[in-house]
Amino acid sequence: MARVRVYELAKRFGITNKKLLEEFRKLGVELKSHASTVDDETIALFVNLTKKKDEDSKPVKQSVKSIPAKTAKPPAAKPVKKPVETIRGKAGKPFVAKPVKQPVKTMRDKSTRPVKKKILPKHKTAKNEAAKPEQVKTPAITSIKLSEAVTVKELAESLSQKSNTVIKKLINMGHLVSINQLLDVDIAVKTAKEFGVEAQIISLEQEIPVEDTGSDEQAVPRPPVVTIMGHVDHGKTLLLDAIRMTNVVDGEAGGITQHIGAYKVALKEGKVVFLDTPGHEAFTSMRARGAKITDIVVLVVAADDGVMPQTIEAINHAKAAQVPIIVAVNKIDKPEADTDRVRQDLTKYGLVPEEWGGQTIFVDISAKQKMGLERLLEMLLLEAEMLELKANPKKFAQGTIIEARLDKGRGSVGTVLVQSGTLHVSDAFVCGLYSGRVRALFDDRGNKINTAAPSTPVEVLGLTGIPQAGDAFVVVANERRAHQIAQARQQKQREQNLTPPNRITLEDLHKQIKEGQVKELKIIVKADVQGSIEAVIEALQKLSTNDVKINSIHGSVGGITESDVMLASASNAIIVGFNVRPEVKATVLAEREGVDINLYTVIYKLVADVKAAMQGLLEPVYKEVFLGRAEVREVFNISKIGTIAGCYLTDGKAARGADCRLIRDNVVVYEGICASLRRFKDDVKEVIAGYECGIGLENFKDIKQGDVIEVYTQEKVKVTA
């Protein structure tokens, strides 16, 4: 007779050893432990009693049906083995409903449920998420505002969508991104549009951090920012010294301002911030980047010298910036001073004195003798009062870079004019393409300070790079956000460097007029003499029509300089040169900024081109192709041959028989053909840069040392419809 141990039998029935021992005790069978053995007869008796209990409590017909038939036979050895085999194979089912076995089934369910939960909900979730984009095409929000540096996660939060949903939409659009990846603003706008939401990109200056509790209602009056402008040696810095009662002039190299200075002056009636600029170039550079930091311009004109070329340029720059102008007529203490002549000359440029019925304030001063300074300051404060200048000191600080430099001991140092809010030490900031944290602040006198209120110029330590003049300085919530925005700007800058800027040219003028984009064509005129400037401006202004108006924003004598290109870039103007040539640096800058420079020697050709462009009839036939540039270092007079220019090729190449022009002080003196070209005693066809050669000009002998010879060819341009 076969015997089975208790623990083996417990496994067959699917119950615990302890519970099986208790069941056998109820039958009168005493077993010591789970290792005790049980015979087949006792097992059959236990199965029959269990079957009766199951039928009384809960019938399980299908699972118990086979057991009575097989267990009804005598307890022989072989027949009894079959029920045991049956129990082994199907014994688990009859005891599912037994009260004793429910905990065991529960334990089994717990072990198996996690597998089912891991599989089924995932499929359901994937189906639901796949269906969500179709369900969220009409969200509650219709418009959102996005920062210039936005991540996928931030975009999803703004759209009230899950990050996975937005990522899937971006992948469908062809952009493989991660949740923390920065998005291009154009891609972010298109993605929002896919969800039925209009997105508006706001600049960092317009973005208000969450921690910023300031409002416009808390704005208080602030000191005015005044820029001193004018011609060289007309007394700009000396005037500022007299106001500050300091001696800045002695610290300047050669008595000329070489950098931008920002100074805060405390007066009885209030405070005034002065900017002393080296001419007008930095002023234009700032405005070209959209920075309007000046509230009032003080135009300094020497009474003994009158209106000079840089004075006119300063007027044009101030008018383009649309800021009020106060004229300070300086050096009235000199015997040859003539203030009435200065007033008369300035009326030609729209600056009519108040005493003559105009709107411009004129103040006669002497910076050296400190005469008329009180009246000038009084007029400044009066003009500032009319402007009602206010700023909120409780906001996060915002300002503009006046200048930046690299200091050997302190690293990158930036002069910042705080325009709103209050700047504190340890503030995280973004400045142009760079980010950082304020390590230290210094005022205009070099004193270390902890905070800077609105209209306060300060030196800031902690920049990670050298920003450009005019870049915005903005404090943000934390350093991580600052780094994120700087990274996005650097990426944008790299993309912009690959595509040239889109400036207006004569070729696309007619197209823009048709589209209604151009209402005014701004022109900068440079010529060899003043009479030519007046003639060109007058001829161009007669071309003005109802569709487009010709506006000459600047005109002066001399070659085309970097300052002219910067003014054209800031004003989206074209440059017209009459009998003059651009400087080398100006040409390079014009190509980088995308400024259109047009050079003429005949006035009717200039007028015809502008008129044709306005009528859409511009058909260029020839294009000038630059070949090379040679510098005249020596002049030789050879009998029977003529004058030969001993030259050094600084750029490109010189070719015999090519067109050329002789330039003296950026003014074209001669245009003709390069008749002869020699290298030592040999006639050559061309000479490349870095070599010396002799050049003979056809029918021209007035060559001087220091002249420049430009060699070029005329290339025929195919006219397209």
Residue 15: closest CA among 27, 24, 2, 26: 24
- Residue 482 vs residue 98, higher pLDDT: 482
Q: Which of 695, 640, 638, 692 has the alpha carbon at shortest distance from 662?
A: 695
Lowest mean pLDDT among 22-26, 93-97, 615-619, 666-670: 93-97
Per residue in 650-703, pLDDT tens?
989 999 989 999 999 888 889 999 999 999 888 899 999 999 999 999 888 889
Q: Regarding beta strands 434-442 and 472-475, do their DSSP bridges make them parallel or antiparallel, or are they unpaired?
A: unpaired
In the block, residue with structure tokens 């015809």: 608
Beta bridge partners of residue 143, listed in sequence order = 198
How far is residue 712 CA from its own chain's centroid? 39
Q: Of the given ranges (90-104, 133-147, 176-190), which has the lowest mean pLDDT?
A: 90-104
Position 437 scores a pLDDT of 93
By the 10 Å C-beta count (0-12 exposed, 13-18 middle, 19+ buried), 496 is classed as: exposed
Smallest CA-to-CA distance from 657 within 709, 693, 601, 711 is with: 711
Greater confidence (61 vs 658) lies with 658
Give tens-digit pLDDT for 120-173.
Answer: 444 444 444 444 444 444 456 788 887 767 788 888 888 888 889 889 888 888
pLDDT at 188: 86
Instruction: Render the burial of 555-565: b for 16+ CB within 10 Å, e for the rest.
Output: bbeebbbbbbb
Q: How many residues does the chain have?
A: 721
pLDDT band at 516 (very low <50, low <70, confident <90, very high): low
**pLDDT score at 229:** 84
pLDDT digits (tens, 9 = 90+) for 545-584: 776 778 888 888 888 988 888 888 888 888 999 888 888 8
Single-letter residue type at 444: D
- The answer to whether the Cα torsion of 700, 706, 707, 708 is positive or negative is positive
Residues 6+ apart with CB under 8 A from 88: 12
* pLDDT value, residue 661: 92
Helix (H) or strand (E) holding 57: helix 40-57
Identify the DSSP state of 12: H
Centroid of chain to Cα 184: 11
Which 3-state string (H, E, C) describes 254-319? Answer: HHCCCCCEEEEEECCCCEEEEEECCCCHHHHHHHHCCCCCCCEEEEEEECCCCCCHHHHHHHHHHH
Structural domains of the chain ordered from first start: 3-103 (no CATH), 143-202 (no CATH), 223-388 (3.40.50.300), 398-498 (2.40.30.10), 509-618 (3.40.50.10050), 623-716 (2.40.30.10)
Rg over CA atoms, the chain: 44
- Is residue 232 within 8 A of residue 305, CB to CB? The reply is no
